[in-house]
Amino acid sequence: MNAYIEWVKAYPILSAMLQFAILGTLGEIISKWVVQKSFKYPFSAFLTLWKMIVWALLSIAIKYAFVGFTGFVAFLSDKGMLPAFKPGSFGWAFSVSALMNLQFGLFLVVMHRVLDNIPEKHKNWANMDKSMYSLLWFWIPAHTVTFMMHDALRIGLAAVWSLALGLILGFYNRK
């Protein structure tokens, strides 16, 4: 565990990119397996690489959002606009998670779909409402737990949450 934490601290962006590229893409693969009720690999090599690149790029924005929104909550607390929760407490973690997901989360969902549409050469905007609702029922609670963790563990846990959401959505979208 110490080696992992040291790696994340030494290479915060690279570690975020690798974790999300692997776990986010794996979540999409598992989701397809569950939907199709088959372990047939669902993507071409090109599409797999594309999805890994998309997740890696999104992870950069996610990493900076984590840093920015923790600072934003501290700023709002200092100005008396939010209660002065202790960093790492439930109230603080919920504040960071809610503010981040209700602002940045909307942008992230749309950008993820835009980037997913590029290689498929058609515009798929189906179920965007469900994606937006996932910010409320999944991401705010998940990131509340995430922000209660030590800083070095947050991005890794967020990448694991991406895999978990892929599994949940796979079961929800089964045919």
Helix 12-36 and helix 151-172, axial crossing angle in degrees, nearest 10: 10
Residue with tokens 């290479």: 11
Q: Does any domain span residue 79?
A: yes
Q: Does any domain span residue 134?
A: yes
pLDDT at 122: 82
- Counting as low any pLDDT under 50, the low residues of the chain are none
pLDDT at 175: 66
CB 156 within 8 Å of CB 14: no
pLDDT at 71: 96
Q: Does any domain span residue 1?
A: no
pLDDT at 103: 96
pLDDT at 124: 87
Q: Does any domain span residue 46?
A: yes
Domain encompassing residue 132? 10-172
CB 96 within 8 Å of CB 150: no
Task: Give the pTM.
Answer: 0.93
pLDDT digits (tens, 9 = 90+) for 58-79: 999 999 999 999 999 999 999 9
Q: Does any domain span residue 2?
A: no
Q: Mark 39-56 as b/e (b = at least 16 C-beta within 10 Å).
A: eeebeeeeeeebbbebbb
Q: Does any domain span residue 113?
A: yes
pLDDT at 164: 94
pLDDT at 106: 95
Q: Does any domain span residue 4?
A: no
Give the span between the Cα atoms of 38 and 119, in whole angstroms. Answer: 23
pLDDT digits (tens, 9 = 90+) for 113-141: 999 999 988 888 988 888 899 999 999 99
Q: Does any domain span residue 95?
A: yes
N residues, the chain: 175
**Number of independent structural domains in the chain:** 1
pLDDT at 86: 93
